[in-house]
Structure formats: C-alpha cells, structure tokens
Amino acid sequence: MNFSFENSITCGGQLQLSALHRAPDHPHDAHIADLAQPFFLAWIKMTVRMAPNRSTHPRFILLALVLLALLLAFAALQKPDPAGPNAIPDELGPSLTYEIVSRYPHDPTAYTQGLVFHAGVFYESAGLYGESSLREVDPQTGTINRQSRLPDAYFAEGLVLLGGKLYQLTWREQTGFIYDLDFNLLNTFTYPTEGWGLTTDGTYLIVSDGSDKLTFYDPETFSPAREVSVTWNGQPVRLLNELEYIQGAVWANIYLTDQIARIDPASGAVLSMLDLTGLQPAANAAVPGEVLNGIAYDPESGRLFVTGKHWPWLYEIRLSNPEIQPTPLRP
C-alpha cells in the first residue's frame, strides 16, 4: 500500500486533511485503511490542540503516521488477506460454497468460453460465430489491452497457457489455434470431437467436449493419451464445459448450471461440487445461455476468479466448506 499525506494549516490554526491518497493492493487493504483512518484523524486533531506552537506540528504529525502504520500492521495480522492462499481451503469437502472477495468490470459483449490468469492479466477466449476472439484484458478495469479476431467461420471455445503458448479450441470446427503471448499465430491442430473446455496439468492438454469425458492430449503430437469418464456419486456428469487445473484437480463448469465440479484427473470422480447459486447477474439470468462459464486461478497469489457469458462482472471468490449435505447435481 502506498500512502502520501498532504496537509495545510489555515490562518485560524486549524489543521485540514487535504488528502490521504491510497493505491489499493486489494479490497481487504481498503477495509483496513477505512478502519484506521478515523483513529488517524482523531490523533491529528488531538495533537494539534496539544501543540504549544505551530512549529511542533510536524513532530506530532510524524507520530500520527507512525501510529497509522502500527494500526495497519496490527489489522493485517488480525485478519488474513482473503485474496491470498485462503481463497481455497487446505481441506475441501464434497460440498463447497463461496463468498465474494471483490468484483471487477467485465466486457458484457464477451461470450466467455475460456479464461486464464497470467502475469497480472487475463487472457480470454470469447465465442459466437462472427464475434469470436482472443483477448488480453486488464483485471482491474476490464479494458481490452489487445485482441485477435477469429475468422467468422470459427466459434472460439476453451483456452489454456502451456509452455509460453496459448492454445485455443473451437466448437464444431475441430480446429485449434496456437499463439505466442503477443497473439502471433504459431500453428494449428485438429481433434476429432467438439471443443468445449481446455486446461493443462503441465504435461497434457485436457479437453472437454460437452459429454462426461475428459481427454488428455499430447501437446506436441495432439494425439490422445487417455480419457476419463467423470462421475458424481456413481452417476455420469455431462455437459462439462470450461476447465481449470487447480492444486492437482480439474475444475469444470457444468453447462447451464451454477455449479463447478472438482474432478480427480486420475479416476474422473468428482471430489467436490461448488455451488455458485446467486452469483449470476439478474439481467443474464433472464437470457437463455448466459450462464456461469470461466474459471481462472493464480497459483502465485492463490486468487480464484469466475465469470460468465456476457456477464458485466468478473468475480474474485473465496471458498468454504458448509456444514450441509453434498449438493445434488441439478439437471
């Protein structure tokens, strides 16, 4: 956090706080600053009244700044940063819920099909025929830093970053695109199914095709290495959509639901079901198909992000284990 203090003393000898500028690192820091600021202002007023003459004011202001720093440090120790490693609990049960840490602007014209967080920016694959693109997006403002449009014959789908390259699927065209981080097209590849979601375990490209299957492809030859069938309480989980690999598991949006499945990549068994009911904006809930889709995880900070198709917001969330029965899979 970066603070700068500007003050002026009026001719009547009253101290005026002109500005307490803050460059927020995270909404939690803003919360701490909001708590500390009243104490800071009270200290300033008290020290001005106690000062024997104006020449001593700077000393008291310095003491006030020291006090503010101590308050901030104490508050930080009392409440862990929700955007840090606590975004996903160390132990995850079969049923998960969430709380919103923050929300960020998201382009409501983006029909989100793939989402990646890397080096402080989002990479997003937006779909629909005639509107598909690959984007680099500023997380704080939702501004599109750069964009590469796909030919109108392609419907963009899942997206992943592996080995410094971006891999992007298409829906029914059975064609994928490979880019560098400057969006230069390096190559294309083919696959025999529809393309829905895409992630990686660091070795293979993991693809969903709208069924209950996850297929693991060699990123050099694009030949399938293996596949698993995804099940929840012994029942197949179909319509697996956008994917993200997090802490050794595949997380999958389930199309047309508010749920994300956390999947064991070895067996295909669903380990946890995350219920994001209530997150979908009301305007999108009224439009068929504008559902939850898009998961991004930053392993360096432990932050977790989700959004949806044509949603005006992208959410940073924190997960928890409610003391309830496992969430049944909705149709």
pLDDT band at 23; cut points 50, 70, 90: very low
Residues 256, 239: Cα–Cα separation, whole Å: 8
Residues 78, 72: Cα–Cα separation, whole Å: 10
pLDDT at 322: 84
Domain assignment of residue 330, yes or no:
no
pLDDT at 107: 98
Looking at 78, 95, 112, the residue that finishes a domain is: 78
CA angle 18, 72, 2 (to 5 degrees): 55
> Are 159 and 232 members of one domain?
yes
> Are 183 and 34 members of one domain?
no
Looking at residue 41, the DSSP 8-state letter turns out to be H
Instruction: Supply the CATH number for residue 224's domain.
Output: 2.120.10.30
pLDDT at 42: 56
Looking at 20, 50, 78, the residue that finishes a domain is: 78
> Are 143 and 172 members of one domain?
yes
> Are 236 and 209 members of one domain?
yes
Question: By C-alpha distance, which of 156, 182, 139 is closest to 307?
Answer: 139
Domain assignment of residue 153, yes or no:
yes
pLDDT at 15: 31
Can you give the residue range of the structural domain that contains 271? 85-320
Question: By C-alpha distance, which of 134, 153, 151, 249 is closest to 199?
Answer: 249
Domain assignment of residue 74, yes or no:
yes
Domain assignment of residue 328, yes or no:
no
| pLDDT tens-place string over residues 52-68 | 554 455 665 666 566 66
> Are 166 and 146 members of one domain?
yes
Looking at 43, 78, 113, the residue that finishes a domain is: 78
Residues 13, 308: Cα–Cα separation, whole Å: 55
At which residue do the structure tokens 């917001």 appear? 313
Give this prediction's pTM: 0.74
